[in-house]
Structure 1
């Protein structure tokens, strides 16, 4: 087994150990899907990525993204973390933006100093959630149905269901019931069972919104520290509905002792999701 260049990157933070970690294998050539999946499970992280030569002529590199349950067509923090690692390894894009090739196609990544931002991919599904789902989510989150002031499908690959609560304090106070939410996860055909919750901070706070993300895992309900795909979908929903301004800062991970910060902006007709990244481990992995 060869040694391959490897980085572990903390994403959506400029300070190590306060964001969402990602394992990046910078040369995934010759690895099977089964090997990639097995390595991802071994890392005990939410995702691992494997960089490959591009197949599309406009792409700078291709990435395969895995979580413990299997391969993902797209995910936000793996997109930013993989690009950060690729640039740290000395690579340079063909044009002004980095172009990543992944399961949803080509994703543009823009550089703003040390911060990177990706153009949110189109929503695969949007519009209000079924009322039965909303009622079940309310029970699972431990809130009243009327506390959910708005809701929408936020599916951009990962099949997020988004709910807007009254405020950020209510979001931070959530104590989800995994047993109740399990009924949603298994009861909806083809659903991935991912629930994103968002609430507004008071005017004048540095962050406009507080975000939390929940999904099922092998050992029950998992909360993701910082979630790029969810924030991208939430931004498309909330900005489109006039609930959020065209530029704002979201906090995520607070309930887990993290300090994730997601920079959201609508520019040139696109939603851009940005954040800092820092390499915490840089070396080689036997794989």
Structure 2
């Protein structure tokens, strides 16, 4: 198939400082691209995710989004959702404060925030406590004892997340996971003491999807927030720092509102041009 130049953006998402977030590659006007072309470009960018913006196929959506890691296609992912909304609005000149994204989990509402965008957390596909056997496997992959996991919960909103709560942020940062033994896409969260850089530290490991450690992860934070608010582990809102161990400086803002759980972060175009696809 012949190639053509397609509008392209690379957007930094959730940065707590300049270039501190998670980049996403966004191909705008992806109509006519086949699956293999999308997969090949996602492998080539070698980012956590690459997205492709298509015309919507259902009423009420502004655009349809396909999301690829270097290894797999995902039905939903958070930082690509925010980065793609930013790129779409910038490319099309959309001035409104609301967008609706169509993707593999259905319709995802988005809204502008100060300096970025926020998405409404989608419903969990799988929830509930991990079994003792699953906790043992989670701990094995994280390189810790099962007794170090204070709680573990399935919070799958697309990528397959299970999350482990550790005693504090330092325990999260000290992890040296054994990725070869990791059975599930695994998130880890621990609280900071009062006055810390955020309320929680989070890390995300997804070696099975071609991403050993994700710098900053919207879907995981959405899943954690859904669990934390429903269980009373958090109320109102909180902040998350993520990416510390991989050289990022991510900042995620989480709120519980009348219309759902919202995950917000800064978004900034770093590269703009065309991709020959």
SS in 2 for 1:89: helix
How many angstroms does 1:89 deviate by? 1.1
How many angstroms does 1:218 deviate by? 7.8
State the alpha-carbon separation in 1 of the partners of residues 178 and 100 from structure 2. Answer: 40
1:274 aligns to 2:276 (yes or no): no
State the alpha-carbon separation in 2 of the partners of residues 3 and 269 from structure 1. Answer: 40
Match of 2:242 in 1: 252
State the alpha-carbon separation in 1 of the partners of residues 93 and 62 from structure 2. Answer: 9
1:213 aligns to 2:204 (yes or no): yes
Structure 1 segment 175-186 matched on structure 2, within 5 A: 175-181=176-182, 185=183
Q: TM-score w.r.t. structure 1 length?
A: 0.92
- Matched length: 275
Contact 1:261 1:275 in 2 (8 A): yes
Match of 2:254 in 1: 264
Query: What does the per-residue CA deviation read over 1:231-271, in whole Å, with 9 as the maximum and x for residues that have no partner?
Result: 00000111211112320000100111111001000011400
Match of 1:190 in 2: none
Match of 2:99 in 1: 98
How many angstroms does 1:285 deviate by? 1.0
Contact 2:240 2:252 in 1 (8 A): yes
Match of 1:204 in 2: 195
Contact 2:13 2:267 in 1 (8 A): yes
Query: What does the per-residue CA deviation read over 1:117-170, in whole Å, with 9 as the maximum and x for residues that have no partner?
Result: 000000011101121110122132222222211110011011101110000000
Contact 1:15 1:278 in 2 (8 A): no
1:242 aligns to 2:232 (yes or no): yes
Match of 1:189 in 2: none
Unaligned runs of 5+ in 2: none
State the alpha-carbon separation in 1 of the partners of residues 230 and 144 from structure 2. Answer: 26
Unaligned runs of 5+ in 1: 186-192
Q: Over aligned residues, Cα RMSD in angstroms?
A: 1.6
1:148 aligns to 2:149 (yes or no): yes
